[in-house]
Structure 1
Amino acid sequence: MELKEIMQQRSFAVVGDTLNEAKTAHEIKEKLLQRGYTVYPVGKELASLNEIPDEIDIIDLCIHPAKGLKLLQENEKDYKCIVLQPGAADETLLAYLKEHQMPYLEGCLLVGMSLYPREET
C-alpha cells in the first residue's frame, strides 16, 4: 500500500506517546483527528492494539522498534497496513514483518496528510 492510499483510509491506531505534546505520536494523533479520521491511541492511552473496540485500517508505529515488535507479536486485530515512522524500524522488526508477510510502509503520516488530503466519499 502506498502513502496516498493509506491516507484515504478511515481508522488509524497511533502507537506511541500520544499524551506528550513534544512527541511525534501526539502530533500525528491530533492532526488525524482534526482531519476527521478515527484514531485509537495505543501505548499511553490503550495498552494494546487488542483493546481497540472497532476495526482499524492502519497501524502507525511511533515507538522504539522493540516495543513495536512486541505489540505486533501480540496483536490479534485485522488491519490493512503498518506505517513505520522514521526511527520506528530496525532489522529485527523488518525481518519479522517480512517473515510473517505483514504489509508495511516506511513513511510519515505527517507528510502523507500534507501531500494527500483524504478524499470525501
Structure 2
Amino acid sequence: MSVRTMLDKKSWAVVGVSKNKRKFGYRVYKRLKDAGYTVYAVNPNLSELDGDPVYADLASLPEVPEVVNCVVPPEVTTSIIPQCAKEGIKYVWMQPGADCREAFALAEENNIEAERACVMVELGRL
C-alpha cells in the first residue's frame, strides 16, 4: 500500500479534530476539505466545526469513509483500529505522533492498511 493509493480515496474521517486552528486536528481537517475531499470530523467533545457537524465516533458517521486519519495520542489510535474493523474501513492514516507499534499490529491483524505520514506534506506533493 502506498500513501498515494490512500490519497486517491475521496472520503475521509479525521479522528481528533479541534476547534483550535493552530492544532493539527484542525489543520489536517481543513487541508483535506480544501483539497476537495469529503471529510467527516470525529471528536466526542465537539458538536460542530466551521459549521459542519462533528460526530462522536465512527459508527455515527452518515457513511463509511474510505480512510480514517488519526490525529490523536497513540493509545486512542489503538482504540480506533477495532472500530475501523467493525465498520469495514480498510485504510488508516496515522499522523506523526498518533502511531505506535500496537496500532500497526492491530491494523495488520484486522487486514487494515496503515500508513504513518503527514497528510499535509503528502497533499503538497500531488
Shorter chain as normaliser: what TM range? 0.7 to 0.9
TM-score, with structure 1 as normaliser? 0.85
Identity percentage of aligned residues: 24
Q: Name the counterpart of 1:91.
A: 101
User: Is the 8 Å Cα contact of residues 16 and 71 (structure 2) preserved in structure 1?
Assistant: yes
Change (3 A) 1:80 1:73: closer
Deviations 1:18-61 (A, max 9, x none): 32212112111111111211000112431111111113111101
Please report the RMSD computed on the Cα atoms of aligned residues, expressed in angstroms: 1.6
Aligned partner of 2:111 among 101, 104, 107: 101
Question: What secondary structure, in the 3-state scheme, does the structure 2 residue paired with 1:40 have?
Answer: strand
Counterparts of 1:95 and 1:80, CA distance in 2: 14
Counterparts of 2:93 and 2:83, CA distance in 1: 17
Change (3 A) 1:27 1:97: same
Structure 2: gaps (5+ residues):
47-53
Q: Name the counterpart of 1:30.
A: 30
Aligned residues: 116
Question: What secondary structure, in the 3-state scheme, does the structure 2 residue paired with 1:9 have?
Answer: coil
Structure 1: gaps (5+ residues):
117-121
Matched, 1:4 2:4: yes
User: Is the 8 Å Cα contact of residues 11 and 38 (structure 1) preserved in structure 2?
Assistant: yes
Shift of 1:104: 0.7
Shift of 1:6: 1.5
Shift of 1:70: 1.6
Matched, 1:15 2:9: no
- Structure 1 runs of 4+ aligned residues shifted over 3 Å read none
User: Is the 8 Å Cα contact of residues 81 and 106 (structure 2) preserved in structure 1?
Assistant: no
Q: Using the TM superposition, name which of 94-103 and 31-40 deviates more.
A: 94-103
Question: What secondary structure, in the 3-state scheme, does the structure 1 residue paired with 2:41 have?
Answer: strand
